[in-house]
Amino acid sequence: MHYADEAKRRLLIWQKRFDIILGIARGLQYLHEDSRFRIIHRDLKASNVLLDKNMIPKISDFGIARMFGGDQTTEYTRKVIGTYGYMSPEYAMDGLISIKSDVFSFGVLVLEIITGKRNRGSYEPELDCNLLGYAWMLWKEGRSLELLDEALGGNFHHSRVLRCIQVALLCIEAQPRNRPLMSLVVTMLSSENAVLPEPTEPGLNPGMTTSSDTESSRTRSATANFLTVTRLEARGHALTVASRRSIDHLTTPACLGGAIHRGSSMRRLALCLVLLAAFFPVLSISTDSIGLATSISGNQTLVSPGGVFQLGFFTPDGARRYLGIWYYNIQEPNPTIVWVANRQSPLVNNSPGVLRLSTDGHLAILDSQNATVWSSAAPTTNVTAGATAKLQDDGNFVLSSDGSVAWQSFDYPTDTLLPGMKLGVDIEAGITRNITSWSTPTDPSIGTYTFKLVLGGLPQFFLLRGDAMIYTSGPWNGEILTGVPYLKASDFTFRVVSGPDETYYTYSIGNTSLLSRLVVDGVAGQIQRFVWINGAWSIFWYYPMDPCDNYAKCGPFGYCDMAQTSQCNCLPGFQPRSPQQWNLHDGTGGCVRSTNLSCPGGGNGSSSDGFWVVSQMKMPEATNATVYDGVTLEQCRQVCLSNCSCRAYAAANVSGGVGSGCVVWAVDLLDMRQYTTFVEDVYIRFAQSEIDALNAAANSRARPSKRVVTTAVVATVAGVLLLLAVGCWWWRKRRGKKDSSAPGGGDDVLPFRVRKHPDLDEEWRSAEKDVDLPLFDLEVILAATDDFALSNKIGEGGFGPVYMGKLEDGQEVAVKRLSRRSMQGVVEFKNEVKLIAKLQHRNLVRLLGCCIDEDERMLLYEYMHNQSLDTFIFDEGKRRLLRWQKRFDIILGIARGLQYLHEDSRFRIIHRDLKASNVLLDRNMVPKISDFGIARMFGGDQTTEYTKKVIGTYGYMSPEYAMDGVFSMKSDIYSFGVMVLEIITGKRNRGFYEVELDLNLLRYSWMLWKEGRSVDLLDEAMEGSFSYSEVLRCIQVALLCVEVQPRNRPLMSSVVMMLASENATVPEPNEPGVNIGKNTSDTESSHGLTSNNLTITAIDAR
């Protein structure tokens, strides 16, 4: 912006200014949310936004930017570098960096673009306001349009100007948690119908001081009477020290921004300090604790020493107030509450509430009438005058006196278990620690679901709905909870401690930057573990996960197996109690023995029964089992045989690989399920005749026939001879290669080597330099994939087969090997490599390198642990794992990736083969668009292109592309619409969903839309809750994307906006385009559509 040049400002008409604002917002959204790394710019300002020849804004100057990795969201720095007037309060005053720091700077920048004025000026001399304070004053008075640059004239959109001002004010709020994410900013700016929250007062901004640039040491302290700032180095002007004895400059609210010098009247100083306390009551508490003489009320909060957690009052439903603890730097869309004090006794009638530490050692919440609405349990030690209640960085609110803990919030969890918290029973202290769901998402009162320890036998944790058990973790065997044998993670340590005085479960996290919480979700009816990843909470795991997790699903002596269609099965030697119920897939009646035990006929201890071992099973419920300490398994066997009621036994503790102690079941065996991994040996009692029958059956399966033995011997001998021949050939080939290699071409130069074709080698070296992409040696790839072993093959597409490999440094990669049948040449392959290497987005698969060696051409990508989307949405079992929220996140992620390709990348990329199998899912189920083998890059203003050879996948190709060879961004958008419907329904487009009408998925969706039955499209296999309005909006957007006329299909930026905003106006769709998805031939041929007498030629379709 040329603030001093009125002539240049006149050239920036309102539409251009709005486009610049939106462009900056999208660039910042990419840095914060869409890049593979979270980038914090730290110095966003007008002079760091460059404009190209088309006045498109480009964010520049990343000299002091910070890159956050993994789950990192905040960082502290002792050296604050930035520009006054743009720095957020928490950054300028505390050195706290986050994406919200950039959001604040963006808000300042928006106001400057709108007004044509710098923030660091005085715009209301009587009040000494800077731009932020002036904008806030006009907003409160309903005069915001007066902010608009007078050089603009009268040609502007009033509502859009007001929306931009409102968004800017939201971005500069004092509390970082209240500032929106940039994705929400883009949505609010783009959608005229988006509902915007009311802004609150702007944050304290140190932009008004005028002293010279200095770097000084300081100690920060904020009270109602003084403010001191330490070690602040800034571009422009620096804050100098203000102390009790000497105040040179005082940074004040936006409308008190003038410097207060020595010699200024005491009256003005007093006025400033009073107004400072009035405008910013939160500054009266800038600490992590309260004592007997202090309290917090209203909007005041405590913040833990490291800025991890915050304690204060919150109002989830807009009416009732609660005292809670939440993550200090996670506020989107609302603070993540981890503990509530008064969940059963909220403050009502707009009572602000006061938290106070009383002299008798109780923490108490008082209402406006000074009545106690909640108080903590009696302290466990004497409370002296020096007692304090402190909020710690682990989220624990601890009342201590003389070094002893008198009370702590960790002993009274609500719905969340944080690292270090205990879930269980402390018999000695008389404390039971359970976690119980909220009643509703906006009502913290005690809900329906509780996760708790049930004492008796072996430690075991249950999820209850009321009094009904709906899930159990399985018994603890000293090493694992046997119902969650796969629960292992490198960053987590899970422990169960069992003793005579206390039994509990707890967990810790090795990576201190990783945030995680265990929650009882009352909506889903699950326990869910969340981790903070890429600026959002991601579900790490949840239980119950599938039908086999339902408590006692298959009744006594039955077990559940998800690999079986019927799911419920009887243990060996048992049969269904009710075959009729069993055939109806109702296994709750369980199973009964086929042959009764010999007891009591055998007398005392003389039973002839035996035991059959199962080892890949969840251990039966053990709360009613009996545990014998200090006995061996053989002794346990004798104990079981001597008791006619004994059904089974197992080692009570298998930690360290050695079983010790014994657990005996004298009750029916309940809640077992089959796993594919070893859990523990459980010895189930049978009549000896059953044992003999089971052994005979096992031996018959294991014993090969003579003919099989003979065949195996012959095959083995032939195989050895073949291996010798292949080994000799391979040795001679390797020797020949070594002889022809250049000197010094040993291990020290891998993964590169001198190639046999110098021209080709020089071309690729040039390409490597252009795109900064490594060229891998063929031998490295052969070693990584075990010579392209069939066991490492993970898929195959139009490009060729894909293999999983592991490089020498342990990095897992996916290797796409170009098929010799592919028509793609070296030049095209090189262009594709250069194209993909320049694309950087969290929703695009990352290219790690490539290889070309004679006839071999390969691409190395990051390995996606969950493979492709089609393996989930079209698989009956896996589809159940994709709840609605996860499906919606995948849809939105794909949309953002496609928006980047079409509109935000330096080059306009048309994918041309977008489909479910070309969307990969990483370990966190984040979607990544892949397979750019037939993608095209458009330059300049190009929007369409014709091709004589149409290459794509039936069911996804748009009509104009399939029939006329015309492709554009709108071709990809059509494919996206098809894929959205597939994700929602779990069905392929190329099927028949209304046999009489011969409809594919698009036509079927359109029919249901017209009939008002679109919700019927939702996948029946999907479990959990969902938002009807969100589902309908996705279906409507999908139908807009598959319209017959390309011009009617929305741009991907509009798609993202419509998906992300609940209040966006979504147009009514028209009938979907003609789709040739019903043809079943995948060869190149001529096709005729008789309805229009059209002929399609030269179609090479996958």
Q: Which residues are catalytic?
A: 913
Length of the chain: 1102
| Contacts of range 629-632, beta carbons closer than 8 Å, 24 or more positions apart | 629/661, 630/660, 630/661, 631/661, 631/662, 632/662
The upper half-sphere exposure of residue 18, i.e. CA atoms within 13 Å in the direction of its Cβ, equals: 20
**Amino acid identity at 423:** L
- Measured CA to CA, the distance from residue 379 to residue 387 in angstroms comes to 11
Residue 809: name the closest of 751, 746, 858, 752 by CA: 751
Is the CB of residue 1087 less than 8 Å from the CB of residue 1014?
no
User: What residues contact 478, with CB distance under 8 A and at least 6 apart?
Assistant: 652, 653, 654, 655, 660
751: buried, middle or exposed (CB in 10 Å: 19+, 13-18, 0-12)? Answer: middle
Pairing assessment for the beta strands 337-340 and 322-327 based on DSSP bridges: antiparallel
Helical (H) or strand (E) element with 593: strand 591-593
End-to-end CA distance of the chain: 51
- Measured CA to CA, the distance from residue 614 to residue 611 in angstroms comes to 10
User: What residues contact 1020, with CB distance under 8 A and at least 6 apart?
Assistant: none
Is the CB of residue 504 less than 8 Å from the CB of residue 425?
yes
Helix/strand/coil for 61: coil
Residue 978: name the closest of 1008, 958, 1007, 998 by CA: 958
**Amino acid identity at 758:** P
**Backbone phi, psi, residue 127, to 5°:** -100, -5
Helical (H) or strand (E) element with 936: strand 936-938
Residue 416: name the closest of 389, 396, 391 by CA: 396
The upper half-sphere exposure of residue 1039, i.e. CA atoms within 13 Å in the direction of its Cβ, equals: 23
Q: Which residue has the tokens 């029946």?
A: 1020
* SS3 of 992-1051: CCECCCCECHHHHHHHHHHCCCHHHHCCCCCCCCCCHHHHHHHHHHHHHHCECCHHHCCC
Is the CB of residue 205 less than 8 Å from the CB of residue 53?
no
- Measured CA to CA, the distance from residue 486 to residue 679 in angstroms comes to 10
- Measured CA to CA, the distance from residue 693 to residue 713 in angstroms comes to 31
DSSP string, 941-1002: T--EEE-SSEEE-TTTS-HHHHHH-EEEHHHHHHHHHHHHHHHHHS--SSS-SBTTTTB-HH
